[in-house]
Amino acid sequence: MRSQSLLLGNLDALKRHCRGTADWLHSQPINPALVLNALIRNRWGLLDWPLASGKGMFEPAPPIHFYQNWPVKQDEKPTATIIIGCNLGYGLNHLLANIPNTDKVFVVEPRAEMMIACLGLNDYRPFLSTQKLFFLPPDETQISHTIFSELDLYFEFGRILMRGDLPSQQLGPDYARWCQKCEEILDDFRLDMNTIRGLQNLMIQNELNNFHRALEDGSIKLLENQAKGLTAVLLGAGPSLEQFAPIIASHHGDALLISALQSLPALHKYGLRPHLCMAIDPTPGIKKVFDGLEPDWVKDIPLIYACKVLPEVVNAYPGPTLPMWTQEGLGPTIWKGKEPVLNDGGNVAVALTRFLIWCGVSKIVLVGQDFAWCGEKVHASGTEEKKTRFRPDPKKIKVLKNKEGKNIHSHATYITALRALERTIQTLDIPVYNLYGGFAAIQGAREVTWDEILSRNILKSYEGSRDHFLCKLNEARAPIPPPAVNLHNPDWWASLAAVKKKIEKFSKKPGKKQQEIYSTLNRLLNILNRNPLYRPYLLNEIFATAGILFASREIGWKDFTFFKKILTRAQRKAREIDRNLASLPVKIHQKAALD
């Protein structure tokens, strides 16, 4: 009876705080009463789960043997722990009893019956209600969303640990498999934190500096679902491009050829001219591509550029240009659904794939998308990068096997992009083919040879579909009115000024004012988050302020120099946004407001 009461209470708490997990459990054909009645007592006198042998999973040793080292030595670093496998709650309970309130625990349990057993033996409602504990289903999307939304402060100001439950791994290989999947999601998260966060200021600055040109260049809005019946060939610059480029150049038929801007020099070498290209890299490194570009060859190739790309790159491109707004920048707030805002995935191959799907293509063929290399050659000949001798770095280079069992090399950035592409492909209802060149396999894409492409007529498009799409592409290159943006924010500026005044006052004698200081910093955090127009540009200031509150330490007079810098940067960035958006012609502003 007590087990039933605990289970119902926990399930009710899951509905309120971990809805996705509650829905997953509800969808499973599990009888809770049968699960709880299946429990046995082991030789230690403890409740246990029976294995196929009839013995309990803790028969070899009592739980403390496995979990005594799970809690880390308590220090000033808050810790987030991801557990794969909950068994009956022995490891989870030991961890919850020995960690401070600043720590969080995330439990991924692949088997519904094990989660039911755990929830029926322990009361987790207090931990769920305070969001100290999260139960997650075996779903990559939900796990990824939770990690990306909950662990950013732990990454920057604390630590993240993953614990695979050894006793649970006796039940089957799914536990080891989910350990690997969670580690891959963490790798994606770490890369995102190390790159996107660091580039946030640059991306927004580029968007502001490109803003006027983007309005003049047009909109991709006209291209949505305009590629129906069209086969798209997505050209990369991996080593295998060298073996396929010459034959594709002369046998691509009526397929649409599309590539990254960085791939153009390599494609030029083989006479393989794409119908359009794309750039999403916001860093100055992309400017190197112009060292290997011949203006006459690219002048008729349209460039779709993410608005976060450096203005110098857009201005230097000799061909037609068309802007694309992306999710991590100002686009969602500025346009409010009136213009397309795409998720580029942080990788141009992923961005191209998602763009093609949004355009409505019927098939995609991947060529030169290798995500790996062997020997010293990382890219096909002709790319802008200098040839360098391969020197393995164990921290960055990973040795993989291709499908023939041959060693190939890859990089954490490539592997993360490959997984993002695979996840995208898994959601599609159109065929995706990979012209396999001996490097990384792409899950979800059907591996084909060139002979199979010819014999099965894979590159065939519906008659006139490519001409129709390119015609729409040309029509899209017409000026559009700017968004109607409210730049009158006196309350926001007044609130920020009031906080600044308080911080200056507290800086003189902070020792006895800790509670008031933290209250003021919380107010500052709310102000920085309040204005959706400013928020993307203030992300680093928001993060820095949240980190101070997260650390929960005593604030000293030296900290106030840092607080003042945060306020100064926030004011400067907000004025920069206002200045760029307010400089639009008044007549165009009025037209946008009427629309």
Model confidence at 119: pLDDT above 70: yes
- The overall average pLDDT reported for the chain is 88
| pLDDT tens-place string over residues 138-190 | 999 899 989 988 998 898 888 999 999 999 999 999 999 999 999 989 988 88
pLDDT band at 345 (very low <50, low <70, confident <90, very high): confident
Please tell me the predicted confidence (pLDDT) of residue 387. 40
| pLDDT tens-place string over residues 375-406 | 666 666 555 444 433 344 556 777 777 777 78
Please tell me the predicted confidence (pLDDT) of residue 583. 67
Which H/E stretch holds residue 232?
Answer: strand 231-235
**Phi and psi dihedrals of 488, rounded to 5?**
-95, 100
| pLDDT tens-place string over residues 180-222 | 999 989 988 888 887 767 788 999 999 999 999 999 999 999 9
Across the range 345-366, mean pLDDT stands at 94
Please tell me the predicted confidence (pLDDT) of residue 2. 61
Query: CA 226, CA 224: separation in Å to the nearest integer?
Result: 5
pLDDT band at 325 (very low <50, low <70, confident <90, very high): very high
What is the chain's alpha carbon radius of gyration, rounded to the nearest angstrom? 28
Query: CA 445, CA 422: separation in Å to the nearest integer?
Result: 8
Query: What does the CA dihedral 73, 74, 80, 82 come to, rounded to 10 degrees?
Result: 30
Across the range 359-365, mean pLDDT stands at 96
| pLDDT tens-place string over residues 477-534 | 999 998 888 777 888 999 999 998 888 888 777 777 788 888 988 999 999 988 888 9
Please tell me the predicted confidence (pLDDT) of residue 378. 66
Name the token pair of 476: 């899209």
Please tell me the predicted confidence (pLDDT) of residue 490. 87
Model confidence at 74: pLDDT above 80: no
HEC readout, 427-469: CCCCCEEEECCCCCCCCCCEEECHHHHHHCCCCCCCCCHHHHH
Of the candidates 70, 108, 112, 106, the residue with the CA atom closest to the CA atom of residue 91: 70
Express as a percent the part of the chain with pLDDT over 70: 92
Across the range 259-270, mean pLDDT stands at 92
Name the token pair of 409: 């090399």
Q: Which of 218-227, 241-250, 442-451 has the highest mean pLDDT?
A: 218-227
pTM: predicted TM-score of the whole model, two decimal places: 0.80
Across the range 329-343, mean pLDDT stands at 92
CA distances from 369 to 72, 372, 415, 433, 535 (A): 42, 9, 12, 11, 35
pLDDT band at 591 (very low <50, low <70, confident <90, very high): very low
Please tell me the predicted confidence (pLDDT) of residue 121. 94
Express as a percent the part of the chain with pLDDT over 90: 60
Please tell me the predicted confidence (pLDDT) of residue 595. 36
Across the range 268-296, mean pLDDT stands at 92
Higher pLDDT residue, 558 or 533?
533
pLDDT band at 593 (very low <50, low <70, confident <90, very high): very low
Please tell me the predicted confidence (pLDDT) of residue 388. 34
